[in-house]
Amino acid sequence: MVRSLNAVIWELIELYRQNYKVTDSIDERLFLAWIQSTRAKLIKQRLDENMRLPDEHWVQDLGYVEMEKVDSSVYTGIPSEKYILRSVKSIPWTIHYKGDPGGFTRIGPADKLGVNYRLVSYERALVSGNGKFNTDQVYAYIDGDKLCLISKSNIHKQLKYINVKGIFQNPIDAYEFKNGANSYSWDYEYPISDALMNDLKNIIVKENFNFIMVPIDDKKPDSVDNITRPTPDETSDNINLNKR
């Protein structure tokens, strides 16, 4: 089932109102923050399981990522006359797989029929491609928030655009990387599967709803700020009252 971000938020808001019988206005941005963080946590847990493949519902396509040639000593200011390719724009943060340097499902040529480049760590990239059969292999690595490419045969220098897909911590950032700043609407599709949505709702109900349901209380009638949080028993009583 395809859901918009608005649909996800309002499923939770209606569930909240159904459980607690409240009619006051609720800040949708708070629900958005819960959704983003819980989605990332659940995907991370699933990807860390052995032999678990990414669900295509989680994946977003950044489109054609523009690359630029930069001197490999760009951070020292002293030219080395050796070059890497680096993404012109910062790449949105991904949700990493277990043991992998980034949560990408594809880093490859702009031609989507082309073979993926191999994603490795920075240290691995420096020593890769020395074999008899892999000198033309293009290796990708993450340097800060930029995506970089190198190869021993320098075949990577011919590239101007590459295609990147992945599972991103903030789906809105990923959408706007491809389509421009402030282009995302909450009515657009949100990358979440049915199974993930069910678990997300259960966690937010259990861990977050009480946070906005039970107010902080100052029990002492004096001029001192004696704010305290309710005890678990008091919290339970308040929730039961609101369910009646």
Break the chain into its structural domains and give their ranges. 5-55+188-243, 60-166
Q: Which of 4-18, 66-80, 119-133, 160-174 has the highest mean pLDDT?
A: 160-174
Is pLDDT larger for residue 94 or for residue 208? 94
Instruction: Please write the tens of the pLDDT for every residue from 45-76.
Output: 999 887 678 899 999 999 999 999 988 776 65
Distance CA 34, CA 138 (A): 38
**What would the mean pLDDT of 105-121 be, rounded to a whole number?**
92
pLDDT of residue 83 exceeding 70: yes
pLDDT score for 165: 97
Name the 3-class secondary structure at 102: coil
Report residue 136 as tokens: 């033309």
Q: How confident is the model at residue 132 (pLDDT cuts 50, 70, 90)?
A: confident
pLDDT score for 67: 95
Instruction: Please write the tens of the pLDDT for every residue from 231-243.
Output: 444 433 433 333 3
pLDDT score for 20: 67
For the chain, percent helix, then strand, then coil, each to nearest 5?
Answer: 35, 20, 45
pLDDT score for 232: 42
Distance CA 102, CA 95 (A): 7
- Whether the model clears a pTM of 0.75, i.e. scores above it, the answer is yes
Instruction: Please write the tens of the pLDDT for every residue from 161-210.
Output: 999 999 999 999 999 999 999 999 999 999 999 999 999 999 999 998 87
Write out the H or E segment, with its range, that includes residue 37.
helix 28-47
pLDDT of residue 244 exceeding 70: no
